[in-house]
Amino acid sequence: MRLKFIKNLVAFLLFTAMVLAISVSPAFARGPDDGFSAAKKIETRYFSVSLASGVDEPALIQSLNIGPEYNIFSSLNARSGSGASFSINNLGDLLDGLFEWACGIMDMNLYSYRGSIKIAREENDLKVIYQRLYGQEGYSEKGFYIAEVNTLYIAAPDFTKEILGHEMGHAIISSFFVVQPPAKVQEVLAGYIEYQLRKVKKPR
């Protein structure tokens, strides 16, 4: 009985994988051409980060507004050894710390995750990218995540831990679940991360 259940489960998962592979948007069949031009690239533990021309890195760090009192690097330090050094003035460190923070909120740890973040200069640039990829306007100009290429897009003026955490939530969900939850459920889960980040107050 148990063997039959396992066989049925494996067959279902294989079928689901085939359906997902077939249903990938034709726009990504040969790789997406989003028209994004990177002026600077940063490699972190979890992300390949691309900054568009005109995006100010120190301003992004300030927008995240994550100080040492949040202590978001404890788990990174624990796994990297005593020689590791993480800084609240380093954008890559902050992104890795925020990613693990978001994973912790969902209790979905993804230590081997690798994805991409592309930071546009302004919201209208995201609108153009979405239009180019999908041939239609997106419902959000602040940021969006594309599962097919595991890439998170966000506009520099909206580069906050709350909005970024929301989009990271979509990446976490996409990578964590073999069978993807319905889109509305994913939005609720990503919204929960954003809610938790918004209600956090800096410790005194």
> pTM surpassing 0.85?
no
- Residue 81 domain flag: yes
**pLDDT tens for each residue of 12-33:** 544 444 434 434 444 454 456 8
- Residue 3 domain flag: no
Range of the domain at 148: 40-199
SS (H, E, C) 21-82: HHCCCHHHCCCCCCCCCEEEEEECCCEEEEEECCCCHHHHHHHHCCCHHHCCCHHHHHHHCC
- Residue 68 domain flag: yes
The structural domain count of the chain equals 1
Q: Please list the pLDDT of the chain residue by residue as tens digits (204 residues).
A: 565 545 554 455 444 444 344 344 444 544 568 889 999 999 999 999 999 999 999 999 999 988 777 777 777 766 665 556 678 889 999 999 999 999 999 999 998 999 999 999 999 999 889 888 888 876 667 899 999 899 999 999 999 999 999 999 999 999 999 899 999 999 999 999 999 998 876 555
Under 8 Å between Cβ of 171 and 115: yes
For residue 67, the domain's CATH number is 3.40.390
- Residue 45 domain flag: yes
- Residue 31 domain flag: no
- Residue 10 domain flag: no
**pLDDT tens for each residue of 110-141:** 989 999 999 999 999 998 898 888 888 766 67
- Residue 112 domain flag: yes
